[in-house]
Structure 1
Amino acid sequence: MSEELNDVVVNNYTVGDVVNGQITKVEEKQVIVAITDSKLDGIIPISELSSLHIEKASDVVSEGDQLELEVIKVEEDALVLSKRKVDAEKAWDQLEEKFKAGEVFEAEVKDVVKGGLVVDLGVRGFVPASLVEAHYVEDFSDYKGKTISFKIVELEKDKSRLILSHRAVVEEEKSKQKQNLLDSIEVGQTLTGTVQRITDFGAFVDLGGIDGLVHISQLSYDHISSPTDVVQEGQEVKVKVLSVDRNNDRISLSIKETQPGPWANIAERAEKGSVLDGTVKRIVSYGAFVEVFPGVEGLVHISQIAHKHIGTPHEVLKEGQEVQVKVLDVNEAEQRLSLSIKELTEKEVDEEEVYELPEESKGFQLGDMIGEQLKKLKN
């Protein structure tokens, strides 16, 4: 007879009806409910309390709780009820709206299982490990009981499939932050950033959500063979914005332009009349350029290379040669330095040819020579 009662009305209730009731007793594996406006009691099996697995009924409900429940079975003296089904039906409607709107919402992580996290949203929501964070996480145990933000990435009500992602929220926030930062950056600004990555051609600096490239030529005024000669990953640096390409999310930066230039205070470092060591960097028809400080070259005019006349500087100098130079003039504003090599060398003196008499003729007087000739004439 009880099987027949499942398909008929008993005390005006049938399977599928939604009723209200108050919990009067919480047992370990079931809950007793006093149904509103009825003398019948209701029983909620522990499996019908939540969409998640629970060990005891008291983990979910307490005595005195008012609940909305669905009739899943009709007995002669009681109704078998489900809290899970009512919660799920309401939840699916709300979740479909959130899914369509791409809404971000917060929820508590109820459990950590193999492969990800479990969230109770009225229905069981699963967060695969790959969708928890934008970075790799080895241990998820700290996530249990933690409330974090999610987006729904997959929803199939007929399969009770609900996939959530916290990673999507993180990446969306980063994207917004990146765009806001990109819109605010202007050419000429000096910013502080962190060296994120180093390549053969330069260093990428994180400006707080977006990376900019410092080309190797913009790392230092000195000649360097590798970016690691100047910077290291994780190092905090000051950079100047050289250009911003908002269409391609590219920012060009410079470290060297935040530092004093090689010509700064050159009048003090290369005073007029001072003597400096240098290296011949370039030879041209009218002279030679000598580097006296990193990034600072001065001109030794061809007339200041040697005391003697030379047709080309190559007769005396070669590139890479170490030389000493004297500062003739310095102009910091125009970044010009006039140098001399010849003023530090002695002038070569031409030796005059001196005629000396033979040894045997030394002591002879002019008169002696004439007298000897007169004797010959008399004879």
Structure 2
Amino acid sequence: MEILVAKTAGFCFGVKKAIEKAFNEKGERIFTYGPIIHNKQVVEELKDRGIDVVENLDNIQPNDKIIVRSHGISKGEYEKIEQMGAVIVDATCPYVKHIHKIVEQRFNDGYKIIIVGDENHPEVRGINGWCNNTAIIINEIEDLNKIDKNLGRICIVAQTTFNQNKWYKISAELIKFAKEILIYNTICSATDERQNEAIELSNKVDVMIVIGGKNSSNSRKLYEICRDNCKKAIFIEDENELNLDEVAGASKVGITAGASTPDYTIKAVIEKLDSLNKLEDRTYESDDEIDYNFKNLSVGEIIEGRVIHITNDEVFFDIGYKADGILPKNLASNRIINLKEIFKIGDVYDLEVVKLSDKEGNVVLSRLNIEKYDILEELEKIKEEGILIKVKLISEIKGGYECLYNNIKAFLPESHSGITQRDEVKNLFGKEIEVNILDVKLQKNDSIEIVVSRKNVIKKIMEEEKRKFIEELSFGQELKGRIKSFIESGIFVTVGPIDVFVPNSEVSWDRKVKPQKEFKINQEVNIVITKINKNEHKVSGSIKRTMKEPWDEFISKYKEGDVITGKVVAFADYGAFVEIIEGVDGLIHISQITTRRIDKPSDYLKIGQVVKPKIISIDYDKKKVSLSLIV
């Protein structure tokens, strides 16, 4: 009997990380909110370690550790756990988290959310909780008959373990239901690969065995695929459910397993099959033979290895196998590293098996996936804490700029770049700039991309520049600036990194001057600092005080008793104002306009009329002049 084992069988990386998180947690009261994965054996193993399942959040206590299952939970459930005072240990699959972000953002943008998946699956219930549980959920093509045919703007996402062929059919039909549509194929790449391999393998064998929990969505879908392609498909949870009579006589038996199936369960099934016949070809890759009698080792398995030798291009590990493990430089890190600086003889590392034998017979290892999810967590933490990072500006692309952060692709939107001039861009290419992380994305090809912004960085730099500039200012200091804007109460003048407010009363000695007629935007002016508020970073100034005060000219030229020639410029109920010189007006009280009785100044005088009044008094303290037309 030839036994062919799918290389994608068993835990996906997201599930592995979730289980690792659970097993590594320590404390008195630790719970998983719902089963961490759809596998009874793993759930029981956690229970044996004191980590039980809690189904009702009302039962948790302050300081309990609550492990969020790999399927994820709703936004409201996150908030409730925090309100209860418990500690969240988030083991949500990164692909699922990515869907949460899409749904929350597009829901807030006004799109109707459609989830293609099983409405009873915890992943789908969790996703729905990021759009206030308002999503339309479609599991079968027939479900489309139950929904409105004119939905306006819709956004479609998929359960990560959904059947790819059904997804294409449903999403193609949904195009007819809306005027505007956003389609996100959020079926994870591991699910896609697993399903494609199941199709290929089930077409080659006489019997196809699918191992997985009966309540596991992805395992059930694998079984459906295999059943459609193989004349005999068997769905079992573990080796105890395998009836050897059903496979006896088959020349080729295929095995695949769902994302929640542990390696030890797969190996137990293989060993039971082996009792029928010596295993002739047990492979996770179609052409490579595996010796299970030496050590249980499989592609995709996470193992520990001890460093035994380091070169510039490879690291060799003792992995307790018949052959050493080899870690090529291109699989050692998502970042550019020097192997000899990072790895030390005797150090122990987690490693992923990617090939069981290279040309020299070594097991090929990788740290890319292991490191990738560590990097994702690190980037999310940097984002949440608002920590600044340095990225290198590489090139200008549509909508912004391409950057690199530790060999991770970063996108700097033009609106967040703070770049206002073309010359500034040229000077920044190839250089590092400080930025904040706005978003962390796991792409469909499993690569990581971050979206960054310079807005906060530039804001902080400008605030510091303002603070330093204002600290050095002094009352009465004269500076040059440019008119920035006009408001009803005055003018803003840009001086260095700050805007100085010049109230209308400080624009000109001539109170009749209208600022917007006298000055223009970007016009250069001199100002004198009149007020400084260092706490609020506010500064006031004066334009008129940079010029000689007209009053000084007036008192040098005139005295009481002098007759002046002036023009009537304004009326008040109590008199008329006459311009003596530019910037100095005198008041002719209504009783001093004429000897005959008048009701108002305009009965005798006109605006613009030239008159020759006598100066009858000068108030030097209040800078006021009284005039008379009565001889």
| 1:73 aligned partner, one-letter code | K
In the alignment, structure 1 segments of 5+ residues that lack a partner are: 26-30, 53-59, 344-379
Per the alignment, residue 391 of structure 2 pairs with 107
Counterpart of 2:522 (choices 233, 250, 256) is: 233
Q: 1:119 aligns with which of 379, 401, 404?
A: 404
Structure 2 counterpart of 1:42, from 318, 326, 332: 326
Question: Is the 1:6–1:75 contact (alpha carbons within 8 Å) kept by the matching residues of 2?
Answer: no
Task: String of CA shifts for 1:256-306, please: whole Å, max 9, x gaps.
Answer: 366554423532132455553211235679875422012322345788768
What's the secondary structure of 1:17's corresponding residue? strand
Deviations 1:98-124 (A, max 9, x none): 122121232334565444222233643
1:329, 1:148 → 2: CA distance?
A: 68
Normalized per residue, which structure has more strand? Answer: 1
Contact 1:91 1:122 (C-alpha < 8 Å) held by counterparts: no
CA–CA separation in structure 2 for the residues paired with 1:18 and 1:144: 42
Which residue of the other structure, out of 317, 320, 335, is the alignment partner of 2:608? Answer: 320
Q: 1:163, CA displacement in angstroms?
A: 1.9
Give yes or no for contact 1:110–1:144 (8 Å, CA) kept in 2: yes
Structure-2-length-normalised TM-score:
0.41
Question: In terms of mean alpha carbon deviation, does 260-269 or 334-343 score higher?
Answer: 334-343
TM-score (norm 1): 0.62
Distance 1:119 1:34, change over 3 A: closer
- From 133, 138, 143, give the equivalent of 2:418: 133
Secondary structure (helix, strand or coil) at the match of 1:264 reads: helix
1:74 CA displacement = 2.4
Q: How does 1:244-263 map to 2 (within 5 A)?
A: 254-256=542-544, 260-263=548-551
After TM superposition, the structure 1 = structure 2 runs for residues 126-275 of structure 1, keeping only pairs within 5 Å, are 126-133=411-418, 135=420, 140=425, 142-156=427-441, 160-174=448-462, 192=479, 194-199=481-486, 201=488, 202-206=490-494, 211=499, 213-222=501-510, 223-230=512-519, 232-233=521-522, 235-239=524-528, 254-256=542-544, 260-272=548-560, 274-275=562-563
Query: SS of 2:522's equivalent?
Result: coil
Contact 2:391–2:433, Cα closer than 8 Å, also in 1: yes
Q: 2:311 pairs with 19, 24, 34, which one?
A: 24
After superposition, the Cα gap between the structure-2 partners of 1:136 and 1:120, relative to the gap in structure 1 and judged at 3 Å, is same
Shift of 1:24: 3.2
Query: Quick check: 253-262 or 218-227, which moved more?
Result: 253-262
The separation in 1 between residues aligned to 2:394 and 2:332, in whole angstroms, is 15
Aligned counterparts of 2:414 and 2:542: Cα–Cα separation in 1 = 40
Q: In structure 2, the residue corresponding to 1:203 is in which secondary structure?
A: strand
**Could you tell me which of 331, 335, 339 is aligned with 2:623?**
335
1:120-163: CA deviations, max 9, x gaps?
A: 33643332333222647688454343111121111245863422
Q: Deviations over 1:20-40 (max 9, x none)?
A: 476535xxxxx4x14155884
Secondary structure at 2:415's aligned position in 1?
A: helix
Contact 2:302 2:350 in 1 (8 A): no
**Cα distance in structure 1, aligned partners of 2:486 and 2:370:** 58
Relative distance call for 1:17 and 1:120 in structure 2 (3 A) is: farther
1:52-88 residue CA offsets vs partner (Å, 9 max, x unmatched): 8xxxxxxx45685554784432215223344544543
Q: Contact 2:318–2:325 at 8 Å: present in 1 too? A: no
SS for the counterpart of 1:96 is: helix
Give the counterpart letter for 1:99 in structure 2.
K
The one-letter amino acid paired with 1:105 is I
Compute the RMSD of aligned alpha carbons: 4.9
Distance 1:21 1:259 in 2: 82
- Structure 1 pair 305–157 and aligned structure 2 pair: CA distance change class (3 A): closer
Do the aligned partners of 1:22 and 1:65 also contact (CA within 8 Å) in 2?
no
| Distance of 2:581 and 2:293 partners within structure 1 | 102
**Shift, 1:10, TM fit:** 7.7
User: Which of 578, 581, 590 is 1:293 aligned to?
Assistant: 581
**Is the 1:150–1:165 contact (alpha carbons within 8 Å) kept by the matching residues of 2?**
yes
Asked whether the equivalents of residues 69 and 81 of structure 1 are also in contact (C-alpha less than 8 Å), the reply is no
Q: Percent identity?
A: 23
The amino acid of 2:484's aligned partner reads R
Compared CA separation, residues 138 and 310, structure 1 to 2 (3 A) = same
Contact 2:412 2:452 in 1 (8 A): yes
- 1 or 2, which has the higher helix percentage? 2
The alpha carbon displacement at 1:332 in A equals 2.0
Alignment CA distance shift 1:35-1:117 (3 Å): same
Q: 1:34 to 1:43 in 2, by over 3 A?
A: closer
Change (3 A) 1:89 1:176: same
* 2:357 corresponds to: 75
SS for the counterpart of 1:263 is helix
SS of 2:552's equivalent in the other structure is coil
Give unpaired runs (5+ residues) of structure 2: 1-280, 344-348
Q: Contact between 1:280 and 1:321, CA under 8 Å: does it hold in 2?
A: yes
TM-aligned CA deviation for residue 326 of structure 1: 4.7
1:276 matches 2:571? no
> 1:134 and 1:184 mapped to 2: Cα distance?
27
- Please say if residues 483 and 520 of structure 2, whose CA atoms lie closer than 8 Å, have aligned partners that are also in contact: no
Mapped to 2, the partners of 1:302 and 1:124 lie a distance apart of 80
Bigger radius of gyration: 1
